[in-house]
Amino acid sequence: MKIISSIEELRDQLSGQLRTAFVPTMGNLHEGHLSLMRLARKHGDPVVASIFVNRLQFGPNEDFEKYPRTFQADVEKLEKEGVYVLFAPTEKDMYPEPQEYRVRPPDDLGNTLEGEFRPGFFTGVTTVVLKLLSCVQPRVAVFGKKDYQQLMIVRNMCRQFALPTNIIAAETWRADDGLALSSRNMYLSAAERAEAPALYQSLNFVAEEMRAGHLDTFQLEHKAMDELAKRGWKPDYISIRKRNDLQPPTAGDLAQGTPLVVLAAAKLGTTRLIDNLEI
């Protein structure tokens, strides 16, 4: 595997490649990321991964400095997956001058759910993703459904800018007890780790109630949040949305069986976890 930090060198290395499959990451790779690499391999060749902890998407009180950086272990994992190029730019490579041009998602998609609790987060994500796509110029790029809103926002950005990259969605990778894998799980204490699957259980509760025809979304969301709060969580939201635009379903949508997804974010101790489930 070639490890490249400069954009120029990356371009030279990938020039003439028409079927590149790309997986952007912030490192601290776990089995979920590796499943994205395997999916990328099915959709293109060569597989290119990136590791870049993108300062633009962290708020002032978020964990940019302490975000886990495990570069050597990550390299070994990617080598085993047969990744051809790892693009690992420094901040100077990626932002040699202040990044004054930004991509701002539309408010109804970018300022709801995660965007409401993490102002500016999606602008940081779309700005770096556009730049990474411009560096790698892949035919496909793989994003996990774990970050459902991110996946949707990136997909819409690619469509609206007519980028020549297809966005492929990868299923969420879960531990045996249901907890979605995430780099932030490593912040959990042993007791919190044992409690953490309750978030996925609350999503399942909502999904099962909806499938059973209990369509009072407001009541279900609040019941699920209250249950989590009783167990010591601090829920930011549990919200039932339409899959296609992440807006709340109308009574008509519910009656017609419009495809839905339930999304959640909640703090356990000092660790904020997110998850979602298609209904």
Residues of this chain that interact with ligand PAF (CB under 6 A) are: 24-26, 54, 57, 125, 128-129, 147, 150
* Catalytic center residues: 33
Phi-psi category of residue 163: left, alpha or beta, with phi > 0 → left and psi -120 to 50 → alpha: beta
Q: Please, which residue, 207 or 274, has the CB nearer to ligand PAF?
A: 274
Q: Which is nearer to ligand PAF, 68 or 232 (CB)?
A: 68
Whether 86 and 3 have beta carbons less than 8 Å apart is answered as yes
| Residue with smaller CB distance to ligand PAF, 62 or 216 | 62
Element (H, E) at 173: none
Please, what is the minimum distance in Å from the beta carbon of residue 184 to ligand PAF?
A: 11
| Minimum separation from the CB atom of position 219 to ligand PAF (A) | 32
Q: Which is nearer to ligand PAF, 26 or 224 (CB)?
A: 26
Q: Which residue is listed with tokens 């556009």?
A: 130
Residues, the chain: 279
- Asked if 15 contacts 46 with a C-beta cutoff of 8 angstroms, the reply is no
Q: How far is the CB of 26 from ligand PAF (least distance, A)?
A: 4
Which residue pairs, CB below 8 angstroms and at least 24 apart, start in 94-97? 94/7, 94/52, 94/54, 94/128, 94/131, 95/55
- How far apart are alpha carbons 263 and 277 in whole angstroms? 7
Query: DSSP code of 55?
Result: G
Burial of 231 (0-12, 13-18, 19+ CB in 10 A): middle
